[in-house]
Structure 1
Amino acid sequence: MDKTLANYPDRINVVIPLFNDWQALGLLLERIQAVNEATLVSRMNFLVVDDCSSTNYTALPAGVGQSLSILRLFRNVGHQKAIALGLSHLASLPEQYPTIVMDSDGEDRPEDIPELIKTGLNSPNRIVFAHRAKRHESLIFRLFYEVYKRVFQLLTGKVITFGNFSLVPAQQLRKLTHVSEIWNNYPGGVIRSRLPYTAVPLERGRRLAGESKMNFVSLVLHGLSAVSVLMDTTAVRLALFCVIMVVVSVFGIGVVVALRLFTDTAVPGWASYLVFSFLIVILQAFLISLLLVFIILSYRTQPQFIPARQFQDFVEKVEKVY
């Protein structure tokens, strides 16, 4: 790794969103120092985005990397928005550096940081995500996560196999923070931004301390937020589905009418109910399509939230630990 870092900037920012996971953060910092080479750790500058935690740290490891700062927020905004605020704060500084985004719980393994950097060097200017080749969550969670990925692909035409663990090149940082969609969903926003990105298969780690705050409701909301950043594409696909339903319904009505008027085939008594049902489907498809049109028009006319311009409204202070 020493040779890899020879031509790499002497500073690497690490953004860590956090909500009450101070114990896990302490263990994460210790593990980063333990499993990585000193030449790499010495370049790291940690920015912990405190998402308005109800608790505070009692002690954190000192001397891990160049510095450790805590970005205190006025209110709880959620994991994805905390990432956007942390990136925006770094983008507002005079100098930009490569920036790693990772969770505080340890599920983003510190020993995989060199692999992100290596992939970034081989793919300059590309945002590098960790593709989850292996996961350790419960069977039910993994099942719903697979459902989420398939639904996302069906609605958007995009494949999303990665989460937040990533490396953002210095030259892409300011561009990324001007993408409004990262406010709702960071990986989905990168996909929407059309900034170049790639993914490297990495194993997902295990939580270092505490309990995961991700439950079924959180997973559903996360999935909806990911789909929302590609609302235009989703609306078009839903509209095409409605058109298909109308075509099928019209064909069904045509078959029933043709049997009644042009053949001697006895038409069962329920045929009228079938025609009525097809008409209801056509009406519903029309109303859904009309609603989608209004949603998209409203979405396009609403002013967009640009994290790079408005992040300071959420920042209470920047607290330097060391």
Structure 2
Amino acid sequence: MTPINEIPSLSIVVPCYNEEEVLPETIQRISATIELLIEKNKLNSSSCVFFVDDGSRDHTWEIIESHAQSNSFVKGYKLSRNRGHQNALLAGLHNAKGDILISIDADLQDDTSAIEAMVDEYAKGHEVVYGVRSKRETDTFFKRYTAEAYYKLLAKLGVELVFNHADYRLLSRKALEELKRYSEVNLFLRGIVPQLGFSSTSVEYERHERFAGESKYPLKKMLAFAVEGVTSFSHAPLRFITGLGFLVSLFAFFMIFWVLAVKLFSDNAVPGWASIVIPVFFIGGVQLLSLGVVGEYIAKIYMETKSRPLYTIEKEV
């Protein structure tokens, strides 16, 4: 690893969706962090923060515009419609300037003081620095348990992930340019970034409660994002249903022998529908489940073949 000699410029990318309640505080804290690092000669004066409005329905964009006029650190992009967190984040990363880029959510649950530690690790020569949650005490038991179980499940499926890391990370310009080569529509950045292969390290921080507003990831979106992560990086579900199909076929084969044995060699054969209906329902359920999993992969192929733009920037400030 070669130490970085020149003072780098930093761009912080913050995707926003209906964040009017927390945004003024977010702008104040991130601006203060940038100013402090410039005073310490860890960043140069062209450093800034890019807020990406992901089609918000509240006054998020008006707040970004207002602060951009009075705060030299603040810049912003407004997407033409809501495209989802990952696309909004990618829009910011693709268009922001700077030698290094840090992505962080607007809700202030990720500790902004970890930004300095990330910059220090970059100065040591690391191209990627992951923000890793040391504690999740502010999460509910259900969210903490399911999140950690999900990371472990993906690891078992062969997906390379950093445990307890979301989208709080530093990327060097070199790493970002490599990331731009990934043109897939089905985005799961926390699975893509480890595949870049550059020198990386982690910085731990304590996760806080959301400063204001409501979570933009209800259970429905969390489940959809979880499915996205599995199907974008692992074909294990397809192999699983192949194995399941083999087991069901084996079970049906033994059922045939059992029915014939009872019919031919005993007087216990009772006319009824149970021995017919139960296997039919069981096999039918497995078939529908298998078709659903296969359909999920086919849908991803369909989305990729259309090659539609991931986002459209309507305004820039």
TM-score tier by shorter-chain length is: 0.7 to 0.9
Give structure 2 stretches of 5+ with no counterpart: none
Q: CA deviation at 1:70?
A: 0.7
Tell me the distance in 2 between the aligned counterparts of 1:76 and 1:255: 57
- Tell me whether 1:134 sits opposite 2:123 in the alignment: no
Aligned residues of 2:68 and 2:74 also touching (Cα < 8 A)? no
Distance 1:235 1:9, change over 3 A: farther
Q: CA deviation at 1:201?
A: 3.0
Residue by residue over 1:189-231, the C-alpha shift from the partner in whole angstroms, topping out at 9 and shown as x without a partner, is: 335x55445544322123233232332223222222323422x
- Tell me whether 1:47 sits opposite 2:50 in the alignment: yes
Q: Indicate the residue corresponding to 2:13 in structure 1.
A: 15
Tell me the distance in 2 between the aligned counterparts of 1:118 and 1:6: 10
Tell me the distance in 2 between the aligned counterparts of 1:228 and 1:102: 25
AA matched with 1:218: K
Tell me the distance in 2 between the aligned counterparts of 1:142 and 1:247: 38
AA matched with 2:89: I
- Tell me whether 1:74 sits opposite 2:42 in the alignment: no
3-state SS in 1 of match to 2:22: helix
- Tell me whether 1:30 sits opposite 2:24 in the alignment: no
Tell me the distance in 2 between the aligned counterparts of 1:106 and 1:70: 18
- Tell me whether 1:185 sits opposite 2:183 in the alignment: no
AA matched with 1:88: H
Distance 1:199 1:262, change over 3 A: farther
Aligned residues of 2:129 and 2:201 also touching (Cα < 8 A)? yes
3-state SS in 2 of match to 1:110: coil
Distance 1:83 1:185, change over 3 A: same
**Residue in structure 2 matching 1:106, options 101, 108, 119:** 108
3-state SS in 2 of match to 1:7: coil
Residue by residue over 1:147-189, the C-alpha shift from the partner in whole angstroms, topping out at 9 and shown as x without a partner, is: 4435544556555531110111211212212323475332133
Q: CA deviation at 1:287?
A: 6.4
Distance 1:250 1:234, change over 3 A: same
Residue by residue over 1:13-33, the C-alpha shift from the partner in whole angstroms, topping out at 9 and shown as x without a partner, is: 111111232452332232235
3-state SS in 2 of match to 1:76: coil
AA matched with 1:104: A
AA matched with 1:238: F
Q: CA deviation at 1:249?
A: 1.7
Distance 1:221 1:270, change over 3 A: farther
**Residue in structure 2 matching 1:162, options 154, 162, 165:** 165
**Residue in structure 2 matching 1:238, options 209, 223, 240:** 240
- Tell me whether 1:201 sits opposite 2:204 in the alignment: yes
Give structure 1 stretches of 5+ with no counterpart: none
- Tell me whether 1:318 sits opposite 2:306 in the alignment: no
Q: CA deviation at 1:248?
A: 5.2
Q: Indicate the residue corresponding to 1:249 in structure 2.
A: 251
Aligned residues of 2:15 and 2:89 also touching (Cα < 8 A)? yes
Q: Indicate the residue corresponding to 2:118 in structure 1.
A: 116
Identity over aligned residues, as a percent? 21
Tell me the distance in 2 between the aligned counterparts of 1:291 and 1:195: 33
Tell me the distance in 2 between the aligned counterparts of 1:294 and 1:213: 27
Aligned length: 304
TM-score normalised by length of structure 2? 0.75
Question: How large is the Cα RMSD of the aligned pairs?
Answer: 3.9
**1:215-226 to 2 correspondence within 5 Å?**
215-226=218-229
AA matched with 2:16: L
**1:279-298 to 2 correspondence within 5 Å?**
281-282=282-283, 285=286, 289=290, 296=297
3-state SS in 2 of match to 1:105: coil
